[in-house]
Amino acid sequence: MRLHGPLEPVFVPRGFRFSAAKGGIKASGKPDLALAEAPREAAAAAVFTRNRVVAAPVVVGRGNLRRSGGRLRAVLVNSGNANCGCGVLGVRAAERCCAAVARVLGTGAARVLPSSTGIIGVPLPEGKVTAAVPGLAAALASGETALRAFGRAIMTTDLRPKLASASFGVGGRTVSLAGVAKGAGMIHPDMATMLVYLFCDVAAPAAVLRRRLKDAVSVTFNAMSVDGDTSTNDTVLLMASGASGVRLGSAGADAGFAAALRAVCASLASQIIRDGEGARHLVRLSVEGARSVDEARVVARSIANSPLVKTAWAGCDPNWGRILARVGSSGVPVDPARVSIDIGPHRVFENGRAKAFDRRAAHEVLKRPEYRVRVRLGRGRAALEYLTCDLTEEYIRINAEYST
């Protein structure tokens, strides 16, 4: 299996076409509409936000996946407006946008999944979307350039587009999987992250895709946080066109697909955290010695969402006391006497006690753009690597000024 990051050539999955457009939804005039299409349909699975407040496109998308039996022709994404908090009017608007796409593609509205990201509470300028649909459909193209344009059009506060792709061989055939993501703030996914679209040319039924996607999301997008805020629009969509001729079900295809899916998701997750609003450090937080992966996640989230821990990281300060305090308040009944903490290679706290360490060397570790903090709980054998970032003045500036 080979994995390519955003600056390398894309392994483009066959059986998909992409396009993007400037619909005038963003005040900046930047691209804000994106369309992906599977001309011969694709099996599809998605995980959505667990927020009780869900945006209209999540409501409509969930219904369309159910009604179509997990068979989609297209996904239509707009940035600049979340279509959330506008009641039934928002739902109707999302439905009409799907219908417009279905009309030009000659399919049913239930085969189109809508997705939105941007400000909450402002009615979606539906007319701008539907007016742009014929042009979007006409511009659909396969290939790397079109896929990259799709990825750029879904950005909001992102500084960089997020893209990863993988390929693996099975019995002389090649399977390609490519994913794009957006997200820089309001990142604390619960079952799914902001917006992620994964396209693969493997053949598989929707039910199989759902299981695979859930497994991959659990240890990637559900194991990261920028700011602890769970969006109302979080969506991870996986579409499989079958155009590679490789069908899931054999050991080789299954293992290759699982590895490629996890690698692409993990790459996109780290790209999201690296582009976290105002973030200067990507922190790989390893929580080990937990009773279960979920328990490790609870402790990791408690640490990763602490303003005091995150500001210490912003100051490159090996202040492990703040980490320890969050381990203690996480709700997991840890015994502090069994807890140890490492900053990079430096053991700073061991079995309930401060440990003498080279503060200058630890400070140097914390100055790197990426480093590991390891917390051992001494309760069991489960572990999770959780991705997060520091909290800087730049985050405050971005978010104090975003909608005013």
Farthest-apart Cα atoms in the chain, separation: 69
* Run of H or E including 267: helix 251-274
Alpha-carbon distance of 158 to 181, in angstroms, equals: 10
Q: Write the interaction track for a second copy spanning residues 40-59; mark x where CB under 8 A is met and - where it is not.
A: ----------xxxxx-----
191 binds a second copy (CB under 8 A): no
Question: Does residue 232 belong to the site contacting a second copy (CB under 8 A)?
Answer: yes
Asked if 337 interacts with a second copy (CB under 8 A), we say yes
HEC per residue, 5-37: CCCCCCCCCCCCEEEEECCCCCCCCCCCEEEEE
State yes or no: residue 345 binds a second copy (CB under 8 A): no
Q: Which of 42, 65, 86, 192 binds a second copy (CB under 8 A)?
A: 86
Q: Which of 82, 94, 170, 223 binds a second copy (CB under 8 A)?
A: 82
Q: How many chain residues touch a second copy (CB under 8 A)? A: 70
Positions in 118-137 near a second copy (CB under 8 A): 119-123
Question: Which residue in the list 193, 230, 388, 392 is annotated as catalytic?
Answer: 193
Residue 349 has φ and ψ, to the nearest 5°, of -150, 130
Q: 156 catalytic, yes or no?
A: no
> Looking at 158-166, 173-181, 290-298, 304-312, which segment touches a second copy (CB under 8 A)?
304-312
Contact present, 250 and 206 (Cβ < 8 Å) = no
Q: How far is CA 210 from CA 58, 73, 230, in A?
A: 16, 17, 21
Measured CA to CA, the distance from residue 214 to residue 356 in angstroms comes to 42
| 320 is an interface residue for a second copy by CB under 8 A | yes
Give the DSSP letter string of 96-156.
HHHHHHHHHHTS-GGGEEEEEEEESSS---HHHHHHHHHHHHHT-B-SHHHHHHHHHHT-S
Q: Is 326 in the site for a second copy (CB under 8 A)?
A: yes
Which residues form the catalytic set? 193
Site residues, a second copy (CB under 8 A):
50-54, 82, 84-87, 89, 119-123, 185-186, 190, 227-232, 305-308, 311-312, 314-317, 319-322, 324-330, 332-337, 339, 349, 352-354, 363, 391-393, 395-397, 399-404
